[in-house]
Amino acid sequence: MSFLSIRNLSARLKGRPDQILRRVSLEVAAGEVRGLVGESGAGKSMIGKAILGTLPQSVEITGGQIILDGTDLLSLPTAQRRTLIGAKCALIPQDPLTALNPSRRIGPQITNRLVDILHWTRADAEKRARDLLAEVQIPDPERVMRSYPHELSGGMRQRILIASAFAAEPKLIIADEPTTALDVTVQKQILKLIAAMQARHGTALLFVTHDLGVVSKVCQSLSVLYAGYVLEDSTIPDFFHTPKHPYSRALLAATPKYTDPDGSLTPVSDAVIAATRAEVEAADRSAHV
């Protein structure tokens, strides 16, 4: 059985009919790296937030299950659910500039989960933080732990956030567009670092991104999302050789290839979008019957 299994998850804006997520189902096996792709507004980040329980207040879940390691998260009371998430999951956030508390030193921001939630001793937690900072190739971890976030560069901060995500050896990490806010030069290093860390720790990873190029490098499988609806669910080799859905094919044609960066690109055509939209609406209708 998969470590994470989402079944028929639906969500919408409170008091409005339009759906944000439409009967989303996806599985992440232990140690698997799954990409979650879609254009902006497709609801890919919402899935990550639904799992972690950090959906905005304006969004409500209208149905479905999120089963993490055999427990349905949606059936748990908030406090219990947070503790469970805190112990088994972690988040690598999108923007390293706002993801570290500006008024606290780096050290406690890495160790606090270990000490407060998982009841490690402070010494153990600090040793662990130092080791991890070294592992993400941060020079002089001792000094960095005593620094405030504003004293460090964006790339450094993202490394710290990655180290922090792996601190409690979670079973699942959700990376929410972890390279989007970074300089192109730093993006590649961070991507490599995440892949290396994942491989070394064997953590399952749900990689949310709009960049198919990134998916092809890091992931083993992927789900393509459009308007909160899963269009296609396949393994990476299958997807890149024989994409099943017309929208997927259009998306691939619109993505620059690492093998041929100068090759011509075709934007996703209006016809494909219209057909996809019609398909999603048809699926909505049949689900409501």
Partner 1 sequence: MQFLQSVLLRLCTTLITLAGVAVIVFFVIRVVPGNPIAMMLPPGATEADVARLTALYGLDKSIPQQFLIWVSGVLQGDFGTSITTKQPVLQLVLSRLPATLELSVMALIIAVILGGFMALTGTRLRGSKTEAAIDVGNGMALSVPDFLWGLILILTFGVLIPIFHISGRVTPSLPLPFTTNFYLTESVLRLRFDLWLDIAAHMFMPALALAIPLAAIIGQLLKQSLKETMHLDYVTLARTKGYSETHVILREALPNAILPTLTLVGVQFTFLIGGTVIIERLFSYEGLGNMAIDAVINRDLPLIQGIVILFAVIFTGVNLLVDLTYAALNPRLRHA
Interface residue list for partner 1 (CB under 8 A): 52-54, 57, 78-79, 82-87, 89-91, 93-95, 98-104, 109, 112-113, 116-117, 148, 150-151, 161
Which residue lies nearer to partner 1 by CB, 116 or 169? Answer: 116
Burial class (CB in 10 A: 0-12, 13-18, 19+), 237: exposed
Shortest Å distance, C-beta 15 to partner 1: 12
Shortest Å distance, C-beta 100 to partner 1: 6
Shortest Å distance, C-beta 164 to partner 1: 8
CB atoms within 10 A of CB 40: 8
Which residue lies nearer to partner 1 by CB, 103 or 259? Answer: 103
CB atoms within 10 A of CB 273: 15
Which residue lies nearer to partner 1 by CB, 22 or 49? Answer: 49
Q: Is 171 left (phi over 0), alpha (psi -120 to 50) or beta?
A: alpha
Shortest Å distance, C-beta 159 to partner 1: 15
Which residue lies nearer to partner 1 by CB, 22 or 113? Answer: 113
Shortest Å distance, C-beta 71 to partner 1: 15
Count CA within 13 A, CB hemisphere, residue 101.
9
Distance in angstroms (rounded) separating the CA atoms of residues 222 and 208: 10
CB atoms within 10 A of CB 265: 10
Which residue lies nearer to partner 1 by CB, 113 or 159? Answer: 113
